[in-house]
Amino acid sequence: MNKYISWVIGILVVLGIVWLIITPGKAGKLDAFAQCIRDKKTVTFFGAFWCPHCQAQKARFGSSAKYLPYVECSTPDGQGQTQVCIDNAITTYPTWQFATGTLPTATSTYRHVGEMELVDLSEATGCMLPK
């Protein structure tokens, strides 16, 4: 019985190593979409590491979340707010901020407080969701 368990554990370890080698290089399904949002330079996603809605918003993007124009608002201890979020008067997380007007200087901003559906982000940014 112990020999059987050792074999199963060994196989699982090997499979885990193979998975770690293969997976990181793969593009996420929403990489291009998230990069398009980031490249707009007029969209900002404000959040906090301890915020469950922020984590849920990132989860919608899966591994592609790393490309989002995310700004962390919480101090590392979770007890305060970063200066950039104070300066932008961010009081609720997540907050999506969309600058409008003539680039490079926006003349106004629109904010959406709370999670956004991907289709709504696509509409707000002009970035295409993959089929």
| pLDDT of the residue at 10 | 64
102 secondary structure, DSSP code? S
DSSP class of residue 46?
Answer: E
Cα separation, 80 vs 122, in Å, equals: 32
Whether the per-residue pLDDT at 20 is higher than 60: the answer is no
Judged by DSSP in three states, 114 sits in coil
Q: Is the pLDDT of residue 94 over 90?
A: yes
Q: Please identify which residue in the block is written with the tokens 């980031």.
A: 38
Q: Is the pLDDT at 30 greater than 70, yes or no? A: yes
Alpha-carbon span 47 to 109, nearest angstrom: 17
Nearest CA-CA partner of 92 in 24, 34, 49, 46: 46
The answer to whether residues 51 and 57 touch, using CB atoms and an 8 Å cutoff, is no
Q: Is 59 helix (H, G, I), strand (E, B) or coil?
A: helix
Count CB neighbours of 40 within 10 A.
17
pLDDT digits (tens, 9 = 90+) for 68-88: 999 999 999 999 999 999 999
Domains in the chain, ordered, with CATH?
Answer: 26-125 (3.40.30.10)
Q: Which tens digits make up the pLDDT trace of 40-73?
A: 999 999 999 999 999 999 999 999 999 999 999 9
